[in-house]
Amino acid sequence: MKKVIIFGASGSVGRSAIELAKANPAQFKIVGASAGSRFKGLKKTAAELNIKHVLDTRGEMTTEVITSFIAQCEPDIVLNAVSGFAGLRFTLATLESNLPLALANKESLVAAGDFVMALSQERRAPIIPVDSEHSAIWQCLINDRTEIKPFHKIYLTCSGGPFFGQTDLSTVTPHQALEHPNWDMGAGITIDSATLANKCLEFFEAMHLFEATKDQVEIVIHPQSVVHSMVQFADSSIIAQLSPPSMQLPIAYALNYPERSECGLPSPDFSALDLNFRTPDKSTFRTLQVLEHCAAHMQNLPTVFNAVNEEARNAFIRGEISFLRIFEILEAVTSQTRVKPLESLEHIYEVDQSARAMAKSLIHKP
């Protein structure tokens, strides 16, 4: 039985993890959980499932507050399913507590990848990816359960989002962008999937998690979301991970690693399976051009990319800017940012704040 904390328990990933624990009471016991605006709902769930410790994240969330909450819960593993840059403190607090981290919050790695990976090594606290693509890559790379194997290339698959195949995105509304064809997710990541910013974040995430260079990661459009990513080895052999598009599997895999558990997912009918792969359209989905610039320089640029994207996409959700303006704001801020190394965690918070300020000034520009 694994004792689990779920940070971000009221969100899409958090609720999937709760369902998983409910369905497998002999495998998982939730010993702590957090929520913010939906804290009331979490309290109800906590009473139902006998979750002893709950954290209301609307208060000030310093790393110390989170660390002491973790200590009270005495977990075996922590799932970080908080959305956005705010998840970074939960990642740091978990690793500082020397605990394994099942990481859905990709923004931690995008904004502070070098620091997070170094802390994970220093504390011998492994990071097991929950993002379905990175879970797939992990499963391809570590299938003998010993160590990550040397690889030649990662093929990061991407559904293409709801606007795959379209070239004019000038009239896209928040309502249209919130309809993902294959996945049911929180609003932020759903819009990021429509702009392909999510794939850019995942690209940086893969570079950090698997120590890959930018040339070792290639984005491949795969509209069916059945192949969750692939890895090519020195002899040209490619290993892929396939499963129906459901977060249950990567969550269960991360929480139960290195064991595998029942997820209740159907087996594929191969005779009805039609799998396609395409090259991404960089001229329509201009986030991919911004990605090229940021990945070529790295340092502070992924932190800036993440901060600007969060601000611009939230403004789009609120109806303040158009869909295409998200691309323009990302292009403007990242191209105007001087490339500089990230010197400390405090510096990362400063870079995040100043990128947000630049993005906000462009959002509010008439």
Q: Which residues bind ligand NAP (CB under 6 A)?
A: 8-14, 35-38, 57, 61, 81-84, 86-87, 104-107, 131, 183, 185-186, 188-189, 247
Strands (E), 64-193: 77-80, 101-103, 127-129, 153-158
Q: Which is nearer to ligand NAP, 13 or 288 (CB)?
A: 13
Q: Which two tokens stand for residue 154?
A: 């990662």
Q: Which is nearer to ligand NAP, 62 or 335 (CB)?
A: 62
Q: Which is nearer to ligand NAP, 53 or 149 (CB)?
A: 53
Cβ-closest position to ligand NAP: 11
- Supply the DSSP symbol for 156: E
CB of 296 to ligand NAP, least distance (A): 24
CB of 185 to ligand NAP, least distance (A): 3
Host H or E run for residue 32: strand 28-35
Q: Which is nearer to ligand NAP, 57 or 120 (CB)?
A: 57
CB of 79 to ligand NAP, least distance (A): 10
Q: Which is nearer to ligand NAP, 86 or 117 (CB)?
A: 86
CB of 199 to ligand NAP, least distance (A): 11
8 A C-beta contact, residue 85 and residue 307 = yes
Place of tokens 């410790």: 53
Distance, in Å, from the CA atom of 349 to the CA atom of 219, rounded to the nearest integer, reads 29
Q: Which is nearer to ligand NAP, 84 or 280 (CB)?
A: 84
Place of tokens 């006998």: 50
CB of 46 to ligand NAP, least distance (A): 13
CA nearest to 6, candidates 80, 65, 62: 80
8 A C-beta contact, residue 185 and residue 120 = no
- Supply the DSSP symbol for 162: T
Q: Which is nearer to ligand NAP, 204 or 232 (CB)?
A: 204
Distance, in Å, from the CA atom of 72 to the CA atom of 160, rounded to the nearest integer, reads 42
Distance, in Å, from the CA atom of 322 to the CA atom of 336, rounded to the nearest integer, reads 21
CB of 139 to ligand NAP, least distance (A): 15
CB of 15 to ligand NAP, least distance (A): 8
Distance, in Å, from the CA atom of 312 to the CA atom of 297, rounded to the nearest integer, reads 22
CA nearest to 112, candidates 85, 134, 130, 137: 85
